[in-house]
Amino acid sequence: MAATKLAFLGFGHVGQALAALLLRKRAELKERYDITFNVVGIATGRHGKIINPAGIDLTGALQLIRSGNSLNLMTHTLALDAEDYIRKCGAEVLFENTPVNHENGQPAVDHLRMALECGMHAITANKGPVVYAYRELTELARAKNKKFLFESTVMDGAPIFSLFRSALPGAQLLGLRGILNSTTNLILTRMEAGESFEAAVKFAQSVGLAETDPSGDIDGWDAAIKVAALVSVLMDVPLTPQQVERTGIRGLSSEQIEAARLEGKRWKLVCSAARSGSGVQARVAPELVLPSSPLFNVEGASSIVEFKTDVLSSLSIGEGSPGPETTAYGLLADFIQAVRN
């Protein structure tokens, strides 16, 4: 098999983790799957955009960025903007990992649409396009005989979408319930240990889980868009995060958390969705969880989702200690699936 040409659009923590994983797995990909690759483009928000049809030194690019330097120091073709970059890079696979837009999924939707129109497989960890353009991008990918894949958008590298796509043929999803936001679960776990809300948020920021502005996590927006993605794809009911009933964890006091602990219960930011007629009722809100629940012992930055289908009454998938590396694995798995199929 000829070397597959890869391009990165977005090269932050996840993109860099994927690059490192590809380098580590290079020999294994060749031996097990007969897959070889060349990186022909890297586009970053702050460190420049470069293209080289002959292949970019990925190790050198990582070293440049990690030392705070610009990719423009490498003698390759430069691109003006994302559109120019996608059109010029000549890749066969585009990894789109720009920041998520909870409002409308842009500009990632346009990036992925253009990649497919240019004849590339489109792979992303960005939840926005899945929520706002799943059907459009899936149909375009089918028309172009390419793949639009997005395993890493919910629970990082855990095989949720591929589970239903491949391992559960004929199963109809009736509902789901879980903990999908790692940041809030870490905050609540630390508050149970006696930390204040403010101190727990600062810790989450210090370890890179929470942003400088943590509102997307603590107000439930990240959880809501993940619920919307799962419903849109697995239940085939288009849903936006604005349509998810949403309450964050700002209103939970240390006194409430301690009272629950004394009663043998725990507060969790619970995501849920259930079919209702031809639609779906979806919700994100703090709930008291009993020890009998699969959600009870999920601590720290771990996450879990429990599915109920018409053939399996309960099926749970959990993930511990997520990070850029686990997200990168989901992207790698999508790459292997796209190229092999």
CB atoms within 10 A of CB 170: 7
Q: Is the dihedral of CA 189, 191, 194, 200 positive or negative?
A: positive
Joined tokens for residue 114: 């253009």
Whether the CB-CB separation of 224 and 245 falls below 8 Å is answered with: no
DSSP state of 98: P
Within 13 Å, how many C-alpha atoms sit on residue 129's CB side? 26
Just list the catalytic residues.
226
Neighbouring residues of 270: CB distance < 8 A, sequence distance ≥ 6: 177, 178, 179, 283, 284, 285, 286, 287, 289, 295
Neighbouring residues of 64: CB distance < 8 A, sequence distance ≥ 6: 47, 70, 71, 73, 74
Distance CA 217, CA 234 (A): 23
Joined tokens for residue 34: 């007969």
Whether the CB-CB separation of 295 and 268 falls below 8 Å is answered with: yes
